[in-house]
Amino acid sequence: MQITCRIILLIVAILSSAVASAQTQSLRHIIDDSLRSTQGELSVNSAPLVDDYGFVRRVYLDLTGRIPSTAQLIEFVNDQHADKRELLVDKLLASPEYARTMQYAFDVMFMERLPKKHISPEAFQKYLKDAFATNKPYDALVKEMLSADGANPEQRPASRFLLDREIKREETVRAIGRVFLGRDLQCAQCHDHPNVDDYLQQHYFGVAAFLQRSYLFTDPKSKVVSIGDKVEGDVKFTSVFTGEESQTQPRILDLSEIKDPDAEEEPYEVKPDSKNRGVPKYTRRLQLAPAMISSENSAFRQNIVNRIWAMYMGQGFVEPLDMFHEENAPTHPELLTSIADDFMAHKYDVKYLVKELVLTKTYQLESEVVQVGDAGRVLYLNASIKPLSPEQFAWSLMQAVGVVDQTRRTALEAAKQENADFDESSLSGQTLLEEKIHTALKPKVNLIVKVFAASNAASRFDASANHALYLLNGPEVAEWLSMGKELLLDSLLKTDNDKEMIEQSYLACYSRLPSAEELKLASEFISQHGASREEVLRELVRTLLCSAEFRFNK
Amino acid sequence: MTKRRNSGCNALEHHVTRRHFMGTGAMAGAMAGFGSLLTPAMAGEMKSKQKQILQVYLQGGVSQFESWDCKPGTKYGGPFRPISTSVPGMQICELLPYTAQKMHLLSVVRSINLETDDHTVGRLFMEKGRKNGDYPFVGAVASKYLTAADNPLPGYVHITTRGIVDQTAGFLGSKHEMMRLEGVKPPTNLERPKDLKPELAVRAESLRQQLNKQFGGKRSRALIDSYDTSFEQAQQLMARADLFEKQDEKELDRYGKHWFGRRCLLARTLLEQGVTCVKVTHHGYDTHAENFNFHVEQLDEFDKTFATLLGDIEERGMLDNVLVVIYSEFGRTPKVNHKYGRDHWGKSFSIALGGCGIQPGGVVGATNADGTEVSDREVDGAHLFHTYMQAVGIDSQSNHSLDGRAVPIGDPVAAPIKELLA
């Protein structure tokens, strides 16, 4: 059955790539065709597909959050299946590491590394990981996050988005605008945005109106803080330009205002007072989530597609990601719209979208820049290099030097001791193992993230002298490059063959073999006098780890 | 509606009100005389000299009553007397006798109202010139626009102890993020691994450059170049580890052998070496109890050390190019509480500033007789930010240009304090 399906898929794939505009194309082909048609004649200059080594590194980084181990790399390269790339993608999407790496990415997207206020960041992270492990539809996830009031213990983690911003208007409205609508409405709070025509005060205050009647409630006994609501409070604002006073009901951008229902005699389920959290019969705050995820609100799906696209393609259709507006139109507006509509039609199935993106040809191109005469930069003729996130960087460092594999061995032993029937090939076994490895290495990850996190949570890449000093002289890297700990250096020094040593170093750090020229360069480096073999080899590896090829997903 | 875009916020520019400049006549004359002696070439040379900033941050909120805005004999004035300064007619608190002799180099702004009594909000407002939003700090903006491309040292260094970790560079990126020094100790991880031979380290650095050249050759350069720069900066810092070596004892005798003295001496060294913005924090002004005793102690330590530093900067001819600012996140309440303390007060307080073309010897703005509110020329963090920027030659009314968006450098609702700018 499976094989038949695969054959059919293969035939479909062949057919659809042969026939330029098949009717029921899969999304991956729609994307490739659309980009090719906008490139026009220049599309013949497209970079070749990246080789197996390059693909496996890229897709491990993107889907599991770290580079592959040498064993995983070789396994894939030696795999003889014609559709092995799709098979690998399926395998990685089903792995617990996928859920973990999505947890990291979406935690930063939603919370921007804000410190803890009322909700434990770990609880929120677990909530996210579970959501991605079960492939919860994205709209359902957002609905939970924008609706949870923190009063119900089960939904408490989801309330972090609102509660840890303390529903303060400035922070919360700005975050909602940026994170869910792709629009930084910050300046609109005082006046219509000075630089952007379509950012209007009414957009800012329309979102603010959903939350205007909400407040932080501290339970007098338990001291637990949650969100309470009242039935009065309207949003008024004065334009600093015209001095006119305006009012708005809750609304998303230019969609219609959401009017309150007719007032009831007793508007409260629970009246707000010092002992009780106010719960109205009609709560404005609870209108936010449905309005946000509604099919009428195309900004919602276009924003998330733009963000997910940027995660895998290295740039959004709209850049910066939070600057959707008329004068900063998407590079490919029709394609963005069709991906967003398709994502909605697939019920916001994140795994589906991710799978389609990473199986496009566009994703699989080499990253060396293609020069096309004086045509300037033509988008998507080659892949972009993507800076590793601090988390990807931390895990990749530990993968390269052997810490992850060593921790895995220890965790596996422990799991087997705890349970004689432990099955590391089952999903539950993998999940348990991943959890153990993660728990063991999390302190190191946190440490590295602290050094490498960007000064601005919204920016994807930052480099400062502190980062370089950490890699060159920091205690962790030094420890991981020492001998006698069953790490990379020990295994490299098992041979005295230079070539083999260098190849193993390249596979561990760059997930590829060195070229002849690189082999020569590295051989010269390690065969110098005045330092021991161990010393030169350590510096070779340290230098690979300090190089740009290690810092980027190429 | 067309007026919305262009008239922008500038329409709100504050009108310049009265100003009080005392005793600047003679100074202005002397400066004009000096100016006329300059050949155009010399003037050009001075103009092209890199502008720098020295920020002395009195953490916790120094009392304006016990420093720049005495109210002797009034309800809230406290026990200290005002003393004369090197500027005829200008008086400051008697706790600052050495600084008083340097006031011909500084001006005082006595009319700051931040409308907040919160440490963080006040601190960020004073640094970013914006009350909220992810804007870069004064030092990061200076690092971005004033640091020569070939200057190997970090653009923004903060000498401090306590662990307030603000994101200072915002959208300008980590290259301009404040480098934090723990007192006079060197930056974290500055020292190479002990077992690494220097020649091997040199060869490793050269290998790194070759690898990057190969990798970057056919790929888009911007990201790779910025990664390369971070390693170059790291190498330069390691090469200048001497900056953090033992300090000269004779100099320390002049600066004071306490930690603030050591830090100010390091600040001078860093400025001399070309760091664009050096911030030195003097901790401990949050005097909710025993305000008066604490100010005696704190300002005793501050006064002589700061005056020595300012004097050195002037003597070395650097003051024309170094903007000096002494500031806090707010001042202290007029009312003295039952613990003889003064609490947080952002409604009417003062700072002092000078150098880099700031009109010296002036007093801008005033508070009312009891010091409970600003009575003239009210300004806030945004006006001060504009003023610092204009002094160092950054047009604060222009924009940061970030891929695709223009972000005003200073808050468009405020303007520089023109009477302070030469």
Q: Which residues of A154-172 are buried (b: 16+ CB within 10 A; e: fewer)?
A: eebbbbbbbbbbebebeeb
A283 and A141 in a common domain: yes
Distance (Å, whole) CA A545 – CA A539: 10
A554: chain B residues, CB-CB within 8 Å: 215, 219
Range of the domain at A270: 116-128+136-293
Q: Which residue has the higher pLDDT, A39 or B236?
A: A39
Q: Which of A74, A174, A161 is nearest to A119 (CA)?
A: A161
A41 min Cα distance to partner chain B (Å): 22
End residue of a domain, out of A271, A293, A315 = A293
* Three-class SS state of A238: strand
Interval A136-165 mean pLDDT: 97
A432 and A283 in a common domain: no
Please enumerate in sequence order all residues whose Cβ is within 8 A of that of A446, keeping only pairs 6 or more positions apart, or say none.
Answer: none
Q: Which of B1, B45, B35, B116 is nearest to B348 (CA)?
A: B116
Q: Does A40 reside within a domain?
A: no
A391 and A265 in a common domain: no
| Phi, psi at A370, each rounded to 5° | -90, 125
Show contacts of B28-36: CB within 8 Å, 24+ apart.
Answer: none
Neighbours of A549 (CB within 10 A): 21
Q: Describe chain A by its helix, strand, coil percentages, rounded to 5.
A: 55, 5, 40
Interval A328-351 mean pLDDT: 97
- pLDDT tens, residue by residue, A4-35: 555 555 554 444 444 444 457 899 999 999 99
Taking 70 as the threshold, does the pLDDT of residue B328 lie above it? Answer: yes
| Among A172, A246, A328, A462, the residue to mutate for chain B (most B Cβ within 10 A) | A462
A393 and A515 in a common domain: yes
B257 min Cα distance to partner chain A (Å): 29
Percent of chain A topping pLDDT 70: 91
Helix runs in B38-118, H state only: 40-48, 97-100
Helix runs in A384-532, H state only: 390-400, 403-418, 427-452, 465-473, 475-480, 488-492, 498-510, 516-526
pLDDT at A550: 98
pLDDT at B302: 98
End residue of a domain, out of A258, A293, A328 = A293
Distance (Å, whole) CA A487 – CA A440: 16
Q: Which sign does the torsion angle of CA B356, B360, B364, B369 carry?
A: positive
Q: Which residue has the higher pLDDT, B148 or A528?
A: B148
Name beta bridge partners: B349.
B112
Taking 90 as the threshold, does the pLDDT of residue B163 lie above it? Answer: no
Q: For B219, which of A368, A535, A539 is closest by C-beta distance? A: A368
B77 min Cα distance to partner chain A (Å): 37
**In this structure, what DSSP letter does residue A48 have?**
P
- Record: contact A464-B220, CB cut-off 8 A: no
Interval A316-329 mean pLDDT: 88
Q: Does A248 reside within a domain?
A: yes
- Record: contact A465-B191, CB cut-off 8 A: no
Nearest CA in chain A to B237: A465
A257 and A152 in a common domain: yes
pLDDT at A384: 93
* Three-class SS state of A180: helix
pTM: 0.79
What's the Cα-to-Cα distance from B118 to each of A45, A130, B61, rounded to whole Å?
Answer: 59, 39, 10
- Record: contact B177-A197, CB cut-off 8 A: no
A531 and A393 in a common domain: yes
**Amino acid letter at A209?**
A
Neighbours of A334 (CB within 10 A): 10
Q: Describe chain B by its helix, strand, coil percentages, rounded to 5.
A: 40, 15, 45
**In this structure, what DSSP letter does residue A328 have?**
B
Neighbours of A26 (CB within 10 A): 17
Name beta bridge partners: A93.
none
Length of chain A: 554
- pLDDT tens, residue by residue, B94-129: 999 999 999 999 999 999 999 999 888 899 999 999
B3: chain A residues, CB-CB within 8 Å: 241
Task: With both helix axes pointing from N to C terminus, report the angle between A138-147 and A298-313 in degrees, rounded to the nearest 10.
Answer: 120
pLDDT at B357: 95
Yes or no: say if B124 and B382 are a contact pair by the CB < 8 Å rule: no
pLDDT at A3: 53
- Record: contact A369-B220, CB cut-off 8 A: yes
Q: Does A23 reside within a domain?
A: no
Cα-Cα-Cα-Cα dihedral of A125, A130, A136, A142, to 10°?
-20
Distance (Å, whole) CA A86 – CA A10: 11
Structural domain tally of chain A?
A: 2
| Among B12, B151, B231, B244, the residue to mutate for chain A (most A Cβ within 10 A) | B231
pLDDT at B14: 26
* Three-class SS state of B112: strand
Q: For A195, which of B168, B179, B406 is closest by C-beta distance? A: B406
- Name the CA radius of gyration of chain B, rounded: 22
A464: chain B residues, CB-CB within 8 Å: 154, 174-175, 177, 179, 230, 233
Please enumerate in sequence order all residues whose Cβ is within 8 A of that of A249, keeping only pairs 6 or more positions apart, or say none.
Answer: A206, A209, A257, A258, A259, A260
Nearest CA in chain B to A371: B218
Q: Are strands B344-345 and B331-332 parallel, antiparallel or unpaired?
A: antiparallel
B5: chain A residues, CB-CB within 8 Å: 194, 197
Distance (Å, whole) CA A177 – CA A206: 11
- Record: contact A323-B405, CB cut-off 8 A: yes
| Among A200, A393, A466, A542, the residue to mutate for chain B (most B Cβ within 10 A) | A466
Please enumerate in sequence order all residues whose Cβ is within 8 A of that of A290, keeping only pairs 6 or more positions apart, or say none.
Answer: A143
State how far Cα A172 lies from the chain centre. 21
Element (H, E) at B374: strand B374-376
Interval B187-212 mean pLDDT: 93
Q: Does A368 reside within a domain?
A: no
Least confident span in A377-381, A411-415, B296-300, B388-392:
A377-381
Q: Does A445 reside within a domain?
A: yes
Length of chain B: 422
Q: Which of B117, B17, B18, B135 is nearest to B386 (CA)?
A: B135
pLDDT at A453: 86
Q: Which residue has the higher pLDDT, A234 or B268?
A: B268
pLDDT at A92: 98
A472: chain B residues, CB-CB within 8 Å: 189, 192, 231, 234, 238
B147 min Cα distance to partner chain A (Å): 15
pLDDT-based confidence at residue B240 (cuts at 50, 70, 90): confident
Yes or no: say if B171 and B407 are a contact pair by the CB < 8 Å rule: yes
Taking 80 as the threshold, does the pLDDT of residue B214 lie above it? Answer: yes
A531 and A411 in a common domain: yes
Q: Does A260 reside within a domain?
A: yes
B223: chain A residues, CB-CB within 8 Å: 385, 387, 461, 548, 552
B316 min Cα distance to partner chain A (Å): 30
B155 min Cα distance to partner chain A (Å): 11
A368: chain B residues, CB-CB within 8 Å: 218-219
Name beta bridge partners: A325.
A328
- Record: contact A531-B210, CB cut-off 8 A: no
- How many beta-carbon contacts under 8 Å exist across A and B? 179
DSSP track, B66-85: TTTS--TTSTT--SPPEEE-
pLDDT-based confidence at residue A323 (cuts at 50, 70, 90): confident
End residue of a domain, out of A293, A324, A355 = A293
Q: Does A10 reside within a domain?
A: no
Nearest CA in chain B to A479: B193
- Record: contact B215-A367, CB cut-off 8 A: no
Yes or no: say if B113 and B380 are a contact pair by the CB < 8 Å rule: yes
Q: Which of A2, A6, A28 is nearest to A17 (CA)?
A: A28
Q: Which of A191, A168, A60, A179 is nearest to A117 (CA)?
A: A168
Distance (Å, whole) CA B341 – CA B292: 8
Q: Does A235 reside within a domain?
A: yes
A147 and A289 in a common domain: yes
Nearest CA in chain B to A543: B208
Interval B213-231 mean pLDDT: 84
| Among B120, B219, B243, B403, the residue to mutate for chain A (most A Cβ within 10 A) | B219
Least confident span in A192-206, A480-494, B201-215, B343-357:
A192-206
* Three-class SS state of B170: helix
| Among A169, A174, A372, A473, the residue to mutate for chain B (most B Cβ within 10 A) | A473
Taking 50 as the threshold, does the pLDDT of residue B224 lie above it? Answer: yes
Yes or no: say if A107 and A125 are a contact pair by the CB < 8 Å rule: yes
A426 min Cα distance to partner chain B (Å): 39
Neighbours of A274 (CB within 10 A): 7
Cα distance between the two ends of chain B: 37
Distance (Å, whole) CA B390 – CA A362: 48
- Record: contact B211-A468, CB cut-off 8 A: no
